[in-house]
Amino acid sequence: MSQKIDVRASPTTSCSASDVLGRPTWAEIHLDHLTENFRALRTRVGPQVKILAAVKADAYGHDAVIVARHLEELGCHWFGVALPEEGIALREAGVTRPILCLGGFYNNQAPLLLEYELTPTIYDREMLERLNAAARLRGLIAPYHLKVDTGMGRLGVPLAELEEFLDRLDSYSHVKMDGLLTHLASANEPRQDEFTRRQIERFHRAMELVRRAGYRPTYYHLASSAAIYAYPESWGNMVRPGGALYGLFSAAPELRPVMSLHTRIILVKTVPAGAPLGYGGTFVTRRESRIATLPIGYQDGYCRAFSNTARVIIRQRYAPVVGRVSMDLTLIDVTDVPGARVGDEVVLLGEKDGLSVTATELARKAHTISYEITCGISRRVPRVAV
């Protein structure tokens, strides 16, 4: 016996969870949890340290506009994006607080930075020349934050080359160093404690060199989520939380997950023992079973690695994912879930009825980290602020 459900229009971020129409698959962004996490971080670092909220990568998949608008209301001082395009989207959505482009900018984007009042991270002389030229044409003094490489090995002026870099800054009259930053590579790795402390020491050395050269940046920052909790000496006068804001930082149990992922059963059928399920028949039923189909798949960011390994929450019970997760559909075994039927809500990520499926749990099954789980939820899945 099988059941079907009608599918109509798609939900938008302005609707409530109960209003979801169309394909019944959506992600909820829990603003109360975001508020709690922000205030916990605010308490942690104290009133003298400003907070730059990392909202790059669409706020780790949580919807940067929803997150930034809410955090702006809470008094967040800065926002950090990876690309100027991300910053422009926030400005066009009405976000007014300062925005730092952590990845710098590309090609001919310097005029856009000035137009949208975005502050770039600078890590080589060519970028500085382009920013200076664009600011000169507009008759402006453009602020920037200088990045120093203290051991991450990605972006940044190497510490060994910093003095030479500083010696030539006087030739750029239309820019102003308003911040100094670096990135800690292993602050979340206790076994790398010595390396992290060396990075912090190198940053303090960079601060000395900058001040000796006559520059007084407003902001000094190097601490992301892990360092906020493990290395108070790294706070500077601004910190850059990302995962901690979204409740993805397990070292701080008081932080609550901000995203949950939901769908509804669209079909239930009874299959006999010995029935192969899904592509390749990787799961074969050992008994007569009730199998439910969910309208979500790896195109939505529900990873193929969850095939035959993940679990979901339905009717106050866990139910296993069976067979391979396909592009648009996933199967679960509801044999042991009494009364499971078409239309029942299923939680694939989040908490319900005292049960939980965490991003960390899913990350272990996919051999990755929790950040990739939420970042991977595609834009085909509507975000609903609740």
What is residue 383's predicted lDDT score, i.e. its pLDDT? 97
Beta-bridged to residue 289, according to DSSP, are 271
Is the whole-model pTM more than 0.75? yes
Domain 31-239 has what CATH class? alpha beta
For 84-110, write each residue's pLDDT tens digit: 999 999 999 999 999 999 999 999 999
Note if 269 is an active site residue. no
Cα torsion through 303, 307, 312, 317, rounded to 10: -170
What is residue 336's predicted lDDT score, i.e. its pLDDT? 97
What is residue 189's predicted lDDT score, i.e. its pLDDT? 87
What is residue 11's predicted lDDT score, i.e. its pLDDT? 35
What is residue 347's predicted lDDT score, i.e. its pLDDT? 98
Where in the chain is CATH 2.40.37.10?
Answer: 17-28+258-385
For 160-171, write each residue's pLDDT tens digit: 999 999 999 989
What is residue 190's predicted lDDT score, i.e. its pLDDT? 85
Where in the chain is CATH 3.20.20.10?
Answer: 31-239
- In which residue ranges of the chain is pLDDT below 50? 1-16
What is residue 280's predicted lDDT score, i.e. its pLDDT? 96
Query: What is d(CA 119, CA 142) in angstroms, rounded to the nearest whole number?
Result: 8
Q: Which candidate in 219, 279, 302, 352 is catalytic?
A: 279
What is residue 377's predicted lDDT score, i.e. its pLDDT? 98
What is residue 20's predicted lDDT score, i.e. its pLDDT? 54
What is residue 251's predicted lDDT score, i.e. its pLDDT? 81
- CATH of the domain spanning 17-28+258-385: 2.40.37.10
For 316-329, write each residue's pLDDT tens digit: 999 999 999 999 99
Q: Which candidate in 4, 56, 215, 269 is catalytic?
A: 56
Note if 318 is an active site residue. no
What is residue 268's predicted lDDT score, i.e. its pLDDT? 98
